[in-house]
Amino acid sequence: MSAKRSLTPDLASGACTDELLNAGSRWLDMSSESPRLDAELLLAHALDKPRSYLYQTLSAAVPAAAAERYAALLGERASHRPLAQIIGTREFWSLSLKVTTDTLVPRPETELLVEQALRRIPPDMPQAVADLGTGTGAVAIAIASERPRCRVLATDLSPAALAVARQNALALGLDNISFHSGDWFAALQGERLAVIVSNPPYIADDEWCETDPGLGFEPRLALSGGADGLADIRRIVSAAPAHLESGGWLLLEHGFRQAAAVQDLLRQAGFGSISTCADLAGQPRVSEGQWAT
C-alpha cells in the first residue's frame, strides 16, 4: 500500500487539523529534512490561511476539499518537488518572493552573498550595483531594499526568470532596480559598477549524484557549471574588470569545494584583497576580490 493510499482514509473521515498535520509529517519523514514544517505550510496553503491559523484550529475538522488538496500537495512534496515551488513563494532576507519552475529556489546560504555585498556598499552613497543571473531577483532585491540610494541592475539569460524577478520587485515597491536580458555582462554594455555580485551555476558534472533530488525540479541551466563547476565563474571573473570601477568589488557564491580555485581565478585576473567567507554551516561559500587598477 502506498503512502498516499494509507493517508486517504484519515482525510476522508473528517480528520481535524492536528491529525492531518501528524499524518502529513509522518508521510514526509523520508523525503524532507523538515517534515512537520512542510506539513504545516502545505496544509495552510491548502486552506488558503496563514500558518498561525492552524494552531487556532487544531481540533477543528478540515473541510473535505481542503483535505483533498492537502493530500495532493503532500504527494508533490514526497516526490522531492521543492516546497517553494509547490506553494509558490519563498522568504529570503525577510522578503516574500514569488518562485516558479523557471527560477532557482532562493536558499539561506545565499543570504551570505547579500551580507558581504552590503559590507562593500556604504549605506548613504549612491552607487551602481549589478546582480548577474538574478533568477527570482532575490539578491538584487535584498540589496535594493537595504541600499535605496543605489542603482541596482539585475540580469538573466532567461526571459521567464526576469519576468518573475520584475514581479517580485514590483510587489515590494522597489523603484531603484532595473532588469536586463542577456548572458552575464552582455546586458551591461558600457556600465561601470562599484559592486558586482553573482550566484552562478557551479555544480560540476560529477557532483549531480550527490545533490538534493529537489534540484531536478529546478532549471538545470541555472545549476550546471560544466565539467569542474567553474565554467561560468571563469567567464564572470575574466570579464568583470571591464565593468568595475577602480576599487570595485566582485563577489561570487560557489560550491564548498571551490574556494581555492575561485580565489586562484580572482588572483590570476588581477584582483586583490581576495578572501572567502563561510556560511552558517561552516562551509566556504562566498569569495570576493577588489579591482584596484
Secondary structure letter of residue 203 according to DSSP: B
pLDDT score recorded for residue 218: 83
The answer to whether residue 5 scores a pLDDT higher than 90 is: no
Please, which pLDDT band fits residue 37 given cuts at 50, 70 and 90? very high
C-alpha 37/C-alpha 21 separation (Å) is 9
Average pLDDT, the chain: 91
C-alpha 25/C-alpha 37 separation (Å) is 8
For residue 182, give the nearest of 253, 137, 132, 232 by alpha carbon: 132
Strand order across the beta sheet in which 151-156 lies: 177-181, 151-156, 128-132, 193-198, 244-253, 284-291, 272-278
Three cell numbers, residue 106: 532562493
Please, which pLDDT band fits residue 1 given cuts at 50, 70 and 90? very low
C-alpha 76/C-alpha 117 separation (Å) is 36
- Using one digit for the tens of pLDDT, what is the confidence trace for 57-95? 999 999 989 999 999 999 999 999 999 999 999 999 999
Burial 140-176 (b: 16+ CB within 10 A, else e): bbbbbbebeebbbbbbbbbeebbbbbbebbeebebeb
Q: What percent of the chain has pLDDT over 90?
A: 78
Select the highest-mean-pLDDT range: 28-37, 38-47, 198-207: 38-47
pLDDT score recorded for residue 9: 33
Give me the residues paired with residue 128 across strands: 151
C-alpha 66/C-alpha 31 separation (Å) is 22
Q: Where are the alpha helices (DSSP H) in 172-271?
A: 231-239, 259-268
C-alpha 51/C-alpha 182 separation (Å) is 39
C-alpha 282/C-alpha 189 separation (Å) is 37
C-alpha 192/C-alpha 261 separation (Å) is 26
Domain ranges in the chain are 3-79, 89-291
C-alpha 12/C-alpha 5 separation (Å) is 11
Give the mean model confidence (pLDDT) for residues 161-187: 96
Global pTM exceeds 0.85: yes
Three cell numbers, residue 222: 541555472
The answer to whether residue 11 scores a pLDDT higher than 70 is: no
pLDDT score recorded for residue 204: 81
C-alpha 275/C-alpha 280 separation (Å) is 17
Give the mean model confidence (pLDDT) for residues 264-272: 97
pLDDT score recorded for residue 225: 84
Please give the distance of CA 28 from its chain centroid, rounded to a whole number. 22
Of 26-30, 51-55, 164-168, 287-291, the one with minimum mean pLDDT is 26-30
Reduced to 3 states (helix: H, G, I; strand: E, B; else coil), residue 90 is strand
Give the mean model confidence (pLDDT) for residues 219-231: 86
Of 61-70, 92-101, 138-147, 231-240, the one with minimum mean pLDDT is 61-70
Please, which pLDDT band fits residue 6 given cuts at 50, 70 and 90? very low
pLDDT score recorded for residue 220: 85
The architecture (CATH level 2) of 89-291 comes to 3-Layer(aba) Sandwich (3.40)
Domain at 3-79: CATH code = 1.10.8
Which residues lie closer than 8 Å to 107 by C-beta, 6 or more apart?
none
- Using one digit for the tens of pLDDT, what is the confidence trace for 200-209? 998 888 777 7
Give the mean model confidence (pLDDT) for residues 223-238: 92
